[in-house]
Every structure is written in structure tokens, then in C-alpha cells.
């Protein structure tokens, strides 16, 4: 019986994806795999090393960590880790054939045939799949020149180290690396391997190295390779193309396994917390965050991961029902134009006066800066209805209402006009909106009790005494800057304040920032999460004779997604 060795190179930045990769490999192999992960002590911490060993023990994986020393002359190459070159050192040192898996691979089908090594045949040093040629590798690239159309992708390869040494590759690769710039290499050790073999390698079936950014998934595929710039463990929607990738089946399969692995760690909260820590460590320019000892924070983030998977699955099903998977920009413009026309028409019909809800009787300024298209839900009392209902549920009046990101003054004027707050403080960075706040305050005879200030930051609390803050309801809606404000704020001064924080989930690193914000507040406040919910339009006589499409356009608040708020009540 042959010994199956699967090798890889790991550092602190790739602990999480490698764990996903090797667990998926063993899951799709009928025989036990001996995993050999090379590491350099300068790039893998003792804590990470111990964690990898704990994960291996938990999932009953046969795993060895092999310490190596990377040469100082290795070139830097963007997002590619220096540990990519470790496969050359592993080939120098092992005595038997091995399969190499990059960290960005996911096994989804049987891999036993790959592990048998028979693709190497007799006398071959390497088996690999031909790369899909594009403009990534320049024509000046010596590896491309010598390999020609046989240039291969090295994400999954089988290597015979005995023949490797017979061909004196240990000396040759070092020379090639030292001439990396001179030879115009692009892709780290992949170019080095192609340069050494000169296109002479055994072909590997593409099902063992499916380049998901360039190929369609089939039922025969065994290993998916996320070789593009978008990686499934830290993908951010920055364009329509990236959105399509994230909704693709390979990305959803990866996310599905992530959720399953966290579920399997359910009986070990410490290990789950550590895994979540390493998952988040792959964000923000690969700077590893400080671990949070609060296991509850990890649980919150994991639940977010699970919920994300469910939502993406539902979205993929919904999108697939349409012949055009994405609405074109002109369609959005037409919808927003119609929504604005309907809102203005309704506002004129109601004389710009709020007719229902907590702020009933308030008159709105006719030329709003932020909110013209939102006039209808404001006038009908359904605008951000969960927040209005929450404020009513508190069944108390506040001496002070502090609004960070006050827009045109809907809340500050409404809170004073309704008598829910004695005085309101509006923080707003936009000068036109500040003028509108004043106009609206005067229009509602509330200007004496509304203070208008400029941009808000964490220092805003220094403008209030502890007594004032303890008698305050603070609403924060600052388009994603809420996390920056709380990073530097003296939270002890807010322990007796009621807080409502609108969460903008489109900000970068939301998976890190939101759990940290909750952890910061949960000792001093009872926290509930509200989200945009159902609105019943049947009771509004003003909408009775509108068709369904126009009626629901009037209910729209133009939000980019379902909005959420943290409602924090002092303990």
C-alpha cells in the first residue's frame, strides 16, 4: 500500500484556508492522508502552530509540520505568500512522491485517483494541468518562452522528488529564483517550475485543478482552485463581476463547508473561537487581529457566516429565475425617478404634513437634501418603522436626543415636536442639510430646543456632562463611520445612555467590526437587533386607488439592503 502524502506551505496568513483545504481533501478520500505542511518559524507563530495541531487532532487528521528556512533572496510578489516557494524546498527534502495542494483549493469530489500518483508514470518529475492562457504571463517571461503553450498551473501538482534531485533541480531552482526579475517571472514558484521542466510534464486531468474563475463547474470535478484575485474566505463585493463570482456555485460550496466545519466544532467553543480568529486574520491587508477571549463574539460572527450562506443561496435561486441576472443601471434610474415623482405628489396632497405615527403633525421642509424620495414613508409614519416602534416601546421621555448623522432633521424635529425629547442635538456634516434642519425646526416652532452642530466623531461626548448623557437617547446613522466612532470613544460615559446604532453591512471588514462593537457594549447594555420589516399599506386611504407597483414604490426607503439597528438599553 502506497503512502499518500499531501503537502503544502503555511504561514499565519493562510492558516484558515489551509485548514479548509485539507479537511475537504480528507473528506473526499477513502484512504487516510498524511498531510505535510512546511513552515518557516519567522512566518508562523507558535500559537498558530499549536492551533493547527489541535484542529488536526479534533478532525483526526494525520498531519506533520515540517520546519524549513526560506532563503532571504526570495522575491516579493503581491498577494502571493513567500511560502509558495516552500514547495521547491519540500521537493528537495522528501523521499517519496507527493501531491501539492495550494491553500486556495477545495476538494469537492473523489481524489483517490490523484493520490495514487499513477499520473506521473515512469521517469516523470511532475504531473500538472495545462494553464488557461491569457495576458497574465508576459511575452518576455522566460518560463512562458521555454514552456510555450504547455505552461502549466501549479495549484495542484504531483511531484517525484527522487527524479527531481536526479535532474539537479535543487541547484537549478535557486539560480532561477535569483534571476527572477531578469527572467521576467510573474507567478512565483509556478514560473520557476515551468522554467525548470520546459513544458515536459505529465498531464493531470483538469478535474483535479478546476480554475473556477475561468471554467464552468461539472459533476465530474474533484478539486476547485480559486486562482483568481477573489478568494472565497475574504471576498468583498466591489463590482458586478465579483458579485457574480460570490454567487457562483464554487464560492457557495466553499462557504457551505466553512459553516459545516464550525458546526462540527460546536462542542469546543475555544477551538471555534480560535478558528474564527484565524478566519478574520485573512482580512485587512493580512494584518492578524488581536484575539478576543469572548467566545460569544465568535458565536455572533459564526452565526453571521451561516446567515450569509443562507442568504446567498436564496439570492442565487432568485437571480436564476430571471433571464438577465442583474438589473441594468438605467432600470434603477427609472425606478428612482418614479419613486421621487410619487413621493412629491403624495407630499403635495398631504401638505407635507406627517399624518400617522410617532411624529404625526410634524411638517416637512419641501426641498430636502437627503430625503426627497423618502417623503412618502416619512409622511405615512412608516419610515424606519422598527426604530419608531422601539422608541415608543421605551415608554419614557428623554431630556436630550442626540442624533449623529441627522440628515435633514426628520428625527431631531420629530422628537421635539412629539414631546418625546425635551431638547435635540443634531450633528450633520453637510451644510445644505444643516440649513434644512434649521428651516424644518422653525417650520415646526421647535428651533429653540434644537442645537445644530457639524460633523460628529468620538469626541462628541465631551460636549455633554455625564448627567446629560445619562438622560439621553443617542441615534447614530453615519453611513459606516459608526465603527470608527466607537473605536475611540470612552464607553464608560455612555453606560446610562440609550443607544440606537444603524449598522451599514456594506463596510469593509464588517465580520470583524460588528462582533467587536457588540462585545464593547454588551456588558453595559442589553442589545437587541432590529431590521427592516413588513409594512401594512392597506390602512392608508391615501394609497387606496394606486396600483400595487406604485404603492410599494411609495413604501420603499431606497435602502441598498435590509437595514439593521443595534438597540442598546442600559442594564
Q: What is the pLDDT of residue 286?
A: 39
Residue 17 host element (H or E): helix 15-27
Contact predicate 204/128, CB 8 Å: yes
Judge if 266 and 361 occupy the same domain: no
- The sign one gets for the Cα dihedral 394, 424, 379, 329 is negative
Question: Is residue 467 domain-resident?
Answer: yes
Position 353 pLDDT exceeds 60: yes
The region of weakest confidence among 77-86, 371-380, 456-465, 471-480 is: 77-86
Tally of domains in the chain = 3
Q: Are residues 314 and 384 in the same domain?
A: no
Quick check: 437 pLDDT over 70? yes
Number of Cα atoms under 13 Å in the Cβ half of residue 263: 8
| pLDDT reading at 280 higher than 60 | yes
Residues 301 and 359 in one domain: no
Domain boundary among 225, 255, 281: 225
CA distances from 308 to 251, 258, 316, 340, 510 (A): 12, 11, 12, 32, 12
Q: Of 12-21, 67-76, 216-225, 332-341, where does mean pLDDT reach its minimum? A: 332-341
- Helix-, strand-, coil-residue percentages of the chain, each rounded to 5: 45, 15, 40
Residue 506 falls inside a structural domain: yes
Is 232 among the domain residues?
Answer: no
Q: Do 450 and 388 belong to one domain?
A: yes
Residues 244 and 118 in one domain: no
Pick from 382, 378, 352, 380: nearest CA to 365: 352
Residues 301 and 364 in one domain: no
Find all residues with CB under 8 Å of 547, minimum gap 6, and list them: none
pLDDT tens per residue across span 382-416: 999 999 999 999 978 899 999 999 999 999 999 99
What does the pLDDT look like over 5-32, one tens digit per residue?
Answer: 999 999 998 999 999 999 999 999 988 9
Do 220 and 247 lie in one domain? The reply is: no
For the entire predicted model, the pTM comes to: 0.60
Q: Examine the domain organization and report whether 303 and 366 are in the same domain.
A: no
Based on the domain organization, do 356 and 476 belong to the same domain?
A: yes
Q: Is residue 410 part of a domain?
A: yes
Q: Is residue 171 part of a domain?
A: yes
Dist. CA 201–CA 128, nearest whole Å: 7
pLDDT in tens, 229-273: 778 887 654 445 555 666 678 888 888 888 888 888 877 778 888
Q: What is the mean pLDDT of the chain?
A: 85
Query: Are 295 and 427 part of one and the same domain?
Result: no
Q: What is the mean pLDDT of residues 324-342?
A: 64
DSSP tally for the chain: helices H, then strands E: 21, 17
Q: What is the pLDDT of residue 10?
A: 94
Whether 355 and 456 map to the same domain: the answer is yes
Residue predicted with more confidence, 117 or 7: 7
Tell me, what's the pLDDT at 302? 62
CATH, residue 476: 3.40.50.150
The continuous run of DSSP H or E covering 474 comes out as strand 472-476
Q: Ranked by mean pLDDT, which of 80-94, 115-129, 223-237, 325-339 comes out on top?
A: 80-94
Tell whether 327 is covered by a domain. Answer: no
**Does the residue 462 lie in any domain?**
yes
> Of 510 and 371, which is predicted with more confidence?
510
The predicted pLDDT at position 511 comes to 75
Res 451 pLDDT > 70? yes
Q: What is the CATH number of the domain that holds 124?
A: 3.90.550.10
Residue ending a domain, choose from 178, 193, 225: 225
Shortest CA distance to 389 belongs to which of 251, 512, 530? Answer: 530
Task: Provide the pLDDT for residue 308.
Answer: 67
Question: What residues contact residue 445 under an 8 Å CB cut-off, 6+ apart?
Answer: none
In a domain, 231, yes or no: no
Residues 468 and 498 in one domain: yes
Domain span at residue 103 reads 5-225
Amino acid at each position: 500500500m502506497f503512502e499518500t502524502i499531501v503537502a503544502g506551505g503555511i504561514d499565519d496568513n493562510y492558516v484558515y484556508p489551509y485548514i479548509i483545504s485539507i479537511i475537504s481533501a480528507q473528506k473526499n478520500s477513502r484512504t487516510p492522508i498524511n498531510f505535510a505542511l512546511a513552515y518557516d518559524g519567522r512566518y508562523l507563530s507558535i500559537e498558530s502552530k499549536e492551533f493547527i495541531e489541535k484542529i488536526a487532532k479534533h478532525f483526526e487528521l494525520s498531519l506533520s509540520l515540517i520546519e524549513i528556512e526560506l532563503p532571504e533572496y526570495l522575491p516579493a510578489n503581491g498577494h502571493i505568500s513567500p511560502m509558495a516557494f516552500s514547495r521547491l524546498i519540500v521537493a528537495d527534502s522528501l523521499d517519496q512522491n507527493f501531491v501539492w495542494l495550494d491553500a486556495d483549493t477545495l476538494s469537492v469530489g473523489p481524489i483517490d485517483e490523484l493520490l495514487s500518483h499513477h499520473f506521473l508514470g515512469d521517469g516523470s518529475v511532475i504531473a500538472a494541468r495545462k494553464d488557461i492562457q491569457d495576458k497574465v504571463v508576459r511575452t518576455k517571461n522566460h518560463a512562458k518562452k521555454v514552456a510555450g503553450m504547455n505552461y502549466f498551473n501549479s495549484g495542484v501538482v504531483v511531484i517525484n522528488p527522487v527524479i527531481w534531485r536526479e535532474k539537479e533541480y535543487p541547484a537549478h531552482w535557486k539560480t532561477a529564483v535569483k534571476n527572477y526579475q531578469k527572467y521576467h517571472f510573474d507567478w512565483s514558484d509556478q514560473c520557476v517550475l515551468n522554467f525548470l521542466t520546459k513544458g515536459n510534464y505529465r498531464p493531470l486531468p483538469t478535474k483535479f485543478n478546476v480554475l473556477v474563475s475561468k471554467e464552468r463547474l461539472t459533476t465530474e470535478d474533484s478539486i476547485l482552485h480559486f486562482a483568481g484575485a477573489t478568494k472565497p474566505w475574504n471576498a468583498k463585493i466591489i463590482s458586478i463581476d465579483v458579485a457574480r463570482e460570490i454567487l457562483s456555485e464554487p464560492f457557495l460550496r466553499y462557504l457551505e463547508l466553512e459553516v459545516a466545519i464550525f458546526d462540527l466544532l460546536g462542542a469546543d467553543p475555544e477551538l471555534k473561537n480560535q478558528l474564527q480568529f484565524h478566519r478574520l486574520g485573512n482580512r485587512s491587508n493580512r494584518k492578524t487581529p488581536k484575539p478576543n477571549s469572548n467566545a460569544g463574539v465568535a458565536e455572533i460572527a459564526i452565526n453571521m457566516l451561516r446567515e450569509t450562506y443562507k442568504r446567498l443561496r436564496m439570492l442565487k435561486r432568485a437571480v436564476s429565475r430571471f433571464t438577465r441576472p442583474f438589473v441594468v443601471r438605467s432600470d434603477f434610474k427609472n425606478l428612482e425617478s418614479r419613486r421621487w415623482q410619487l413621493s412629491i405628489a403624495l407630499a403635495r396632497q398631504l401638505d407635507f404634513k406627517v399624518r400617522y405615527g410617532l411624529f404625526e403633525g410634524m411638517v416637512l421642509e419641501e426641498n430636502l437634501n437627503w430625503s426627497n424620495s423618502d417623503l412618502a414613508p416619512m409622511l405615512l409614519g412608516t419610515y424606519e418603522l422598527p426604530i419608531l416602534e422601539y422608541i415608543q416601546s421605551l415608554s419614557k421621555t428623554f431630556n436630550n436626543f442626540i442624533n449623529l448623522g441627522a440628515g435633514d432633521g426628520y428625527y431631531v424635529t420629530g422628537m421635539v415636536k412629539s414631546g418625546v425629547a425635551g431638547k435635540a442635538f443634531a450633528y450633520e456634516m453637510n451644510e445644505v442639510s444643516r440649513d434644512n434642519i434649521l428651516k424644518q425646526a422653525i417650520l415646526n416652532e421647535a428651533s429653540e430646543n434644537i442645537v445644530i452642530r457639524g460633523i460628529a466623531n468620538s469626541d462628541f461626548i465631551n460636549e455633554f456632562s455625564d448627567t446629560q448623557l445619562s438622560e439621553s437617547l443617542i441615534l447614530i446613522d453615519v453611513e459606516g463611520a459608526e465603527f470608527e466612532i466607537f473605536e475611540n470613544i470612552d464607553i464608560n460615559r455612555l453606560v446610562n445612555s440609550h443607544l440606537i446604532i444603524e449598522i451599514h453591512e456594506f463596510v469593509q471588514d464588517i465580520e470583524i467590526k460588528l462582533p467587536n462593537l457588540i462585545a464593547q457594549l454588551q456588558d453595559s447594555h442589553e442589545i437587541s437587533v432590529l431590521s427592516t420589516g413588513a409594512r401594512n399599506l392597506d390602512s392608508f386611504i391615501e394609497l387606496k386607488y394606486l396600483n400595487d407597483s406604485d404603492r410599494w414604490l411609495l413604501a420603499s426607503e431606497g435602502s441598498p439592503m435590509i437595514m439593521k439597528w443595534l438597540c442598546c438599553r442600559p442594564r
